[in-house]
Amino acid sequence: MKYSGYAYIYTIGCQMNVYDSEKLASILNSYGFEKTDDMEKADIVVCNTCSIRHKAEEKAFSFLGRFSKIKKRKPQLITVMAGCVAQQEGEKAFVRVPHLDIVLGTQAFSRFGHHIDAVKSGKKRVVDTKDSQVIYESLPDTSDNSCFDENKTSRFVTIMQGCDNYCTYCVVPYVRGRERSRSPENIVEEISLLAGNGVREITLLGQNVNSYGQKEGQISFPQLLGKINEINKIHRIRFATSHPKDLSMDLIYAIRDLDKVCNHLHLPVQSGSNKILKKMNRGYTREKYINRISDLKKQCPGIALSTDIIVGFPSETDEDFNDTMNLLHEIQFDSIYAFAYSDRSSAPAAKFFEQIDEKQKRERLNNLLQLQEHYTKKKNKELIGKTLEILVEGKSVKKRDGFEQTSGKMEQMTGRSESNKIVHFPSEHVNMGDIIKIRIEDAYPHSLWGYPLGA
């Protein structure tokens, strides 16, 4: 059924959640709901949730809790909890948010419209957390730019959902189900459509893109990259996340040989201790990880590396933590995403003995981040004097000190290098989506500053 009104979508969590929110927006648009940034104006509010950490889960309940008073004033408002927390909590979500209308699990998107119809017809408290063997497929609606936010230059595209690895700290297999891959034809069609509407860079998403297509007997991930590399108007291809145990030489060769695949890899190590890696059920050792990094650097000189690290995992000793610090010394990542371990009730590690106290976790995390900041600054300073090719993303939000006094008519713009470095620069003439060369003149902890060649 077709309705009229406005939809507000609040997204918490990872890149995949951002992509899922775009799918939810497309479904709502097909039912007549126009996307709005004004909560007060909304006729349907969707909170797309993340349960990877306790803080993200609490953020979802806090956001939805705000609508208790609004629902009393505006009883026709439909409130929806979607995503991972919805899948995890099911009926229990109504205990904390009694004014909820729909709890929509991670595999229920294809049935979202039917649930809206049911609520509109008077049904109360709809819950859908049923498993699905297939991924919900829909092409982005580019007719009115409803699938785009302010940045049309870069987009996420999910190529697979779920996970079969069962790392002991992770809830993904329990809230997103077993691993399932989309068909390569649908992926290529979606990216081609985005490219035709101004997208220049795509990031392929999956819990473990390295195992794409294996269960379905489809083409391999490197072969998929080859097909996407042939799409006109796409200039850059990124992907996340790669699992170290499945990083093949074929994928390393693809990074080396395919001109549109960026010379950057995010490869989560999680810990530098073999004891902790085994308890995490990661499926590789410290030595195997280091050997794979060595293979990467040999085949892809200058490759930028980033990683994920968890500190304070149950039973992590000072020696285990020092192994992680030493790994940072040895590899010298360009950047890291580091977190203090937090229990998730449905993950096996929540039942492990020898939990680490919060103070010690924070101390270890701070020490790790301090060390990484040293290497990030070092890597950035090494780029001073070099020329980088930048994909322009738009105007900078934060201005360089003194820029307003010296800029004249120029705007401070921002973009990213192939190695995923944020670069700010002054310009009068560039537009979002342009690819230009920038000579780097200065380096900061998390960004670079330079001038366009010929400026």
- Write the DSSP assignment of 25-93 as a string of letters: HHHHHHTTEEE-S-GGG-SEEEEEE--SSHHHHHHHHHHHHTHHHHHHH-TT-EEEEEEHHHHHHGGGH
- What pLDDT, on the 0 to 100 scale, is given for residue 442? 96
pLDDT tier, 393 (very low <50, low <70, confident <90, very high otherwise): very high
- Rounded-to-integer distance, Cα 320 and Cα 199, Å: 44
Name the band, by pLDDT with cuts 50, 70 and 90, for residue 412. very high
Neighbours of 401 (CB within 10 A): 7
pLDDT band at 133 (very low <50, low <70, confident <90, very high): confident
Pick 138 or 255 by higher pLDDT.
Answer: 255
Report pLDDT for 54: 85
- Average pLDDT value for residue range 22-26: 93
The pLDDT of residue 163 is: 95
Retrieve residue 37's tokens: 């940034």
The answer to whether 52 and 65 have CB atoms below 8 angstroms apart is no
Residue 404 has pLDDT above 60, yes or no: no
Do 312 and 361 contact (CB within 8 A), yes or no? yes
- Residue 26, CA distances (Å) to 109, 147, 394 in order: 11, 7, 25
Assign domain 387-452 one CATH number from 2.60.40.10, 2.40.50.140, 2.115.10.20, 3.40.50.2000: 2.40.50.140
Hey, what amino acid is at 395? K
pTM above 0.85, yes or no: yes
pLDDT digits (tens, 9 = 90+) for 70-85: 999 999 999 999 999 9
pLDDT confidence bin for 398, thresholds 50/70/90: confident
The pLDDT tens digits for 276-335 are 999 999 999 999 999 999 999 999 999 999 999 999 999 999 999 999 999 999 999 999
Separation CA 186–CA 22 (nearest Å): 17
**Residue 287 pLDDT:** 98
Q: Are 245 and 257 in contact (CB under 8 A)?
A: no
Distance, CA of 225 to CA of 234 (rounded, Å): 12
CA dihedral 441, 442, 443, 449 (to 10 degrees): -70
For the chain, percent of residues with pLDDT exceeding 70:
96
Give start-end residues of each CATH 3.40.50.12160 domain in the chain: 5-128
Q: What percent of the chain has pLDDT over 90?
A: 87
| Helix (H), strand (E) at residue 219 | none
- Asked whether 178 and 164 are in contact (CB, 8 A), the reply is yes
- Examine the pLDDT at 66 and tell me if it is beyond 80: yes
Q: CA angle, 303 as apex, 302 and 309 as ends, to 5°?
A: 130
SS3 163: coil
Bond from prior residue into 36 cis (ω within 30 degrees of 0): no
Q: Which two tokens stand for residue 138?
A: 């829909």
Does the pLDDT of residue 455 top 80, yes or no? no
Burial 267-281, CB ≥16 within 10 A → b, else e: bbbbbbbbbbbebbe
Q: Which two tokens stand for residue 101?
A: 């209308």
Measured CA to CA in angstroms, residue 384 lies from 207, 388, 398, 401, 455 at distances of: 35, 10, 21, 19, 17
**156 three-class SS:** strand
Q: In the predicted model, is pLDDT for residue 188 greater than 90?
A: yes
Calpha distance 59→69 (Å, rounded):
18
Q: Determine the average pLDDT of the residues in 94-101.
A: 96
pLDDT band at 149 (very low <50, low <70, confident <90, very high): low
The model's confidence at residue 403, banded by pLDDT at 50, 70 and 90, is low
CB-CB contact of 383 with 199 (8 Å): no
Does residue 19 contact residue 55 with C-beta atoms inside 8 Å? Answer: no
pLDDT digit string, tens, across residues 150-180: 568 999 999 999 999 999 999 999 999 999 9
pLDDT at res. 52: 84
Average pLDDT over residues 97-115: 96
In whole angstroms, give the CA distance from residue 318 to residue 85.
33
Nearest to 180 by CA among 140, 220, 207: 207
Amino acid identity, residue 323? D
Sequence ranges of the chain with CATH classification 2.40.50.140: 387-452
Q: What is the mean pLDDT of the chain?
A: 93
- The pLDDT-based confidence of 402 (bands split at 50, 70, 90) is low
* Span 188-216, average pLDDT: 95
Q: 111 is written with which tokens?
A: 């049935």
Q: Residue range 28-51: average pLDDT?
A: 94
- Contact call for residues 403 and 246 (beta carbons, < 8 A): no
Q: Which helix (H) or strand (E) holds 347?
A: none
d(CA 355, CA 165): 23
Question: CATH assignment of 5-128, given 3.40.50.10320, 3.30.70.2170, 3.40.50.2300, 3.40.50.12160?
Answer: 3.40.50.12160
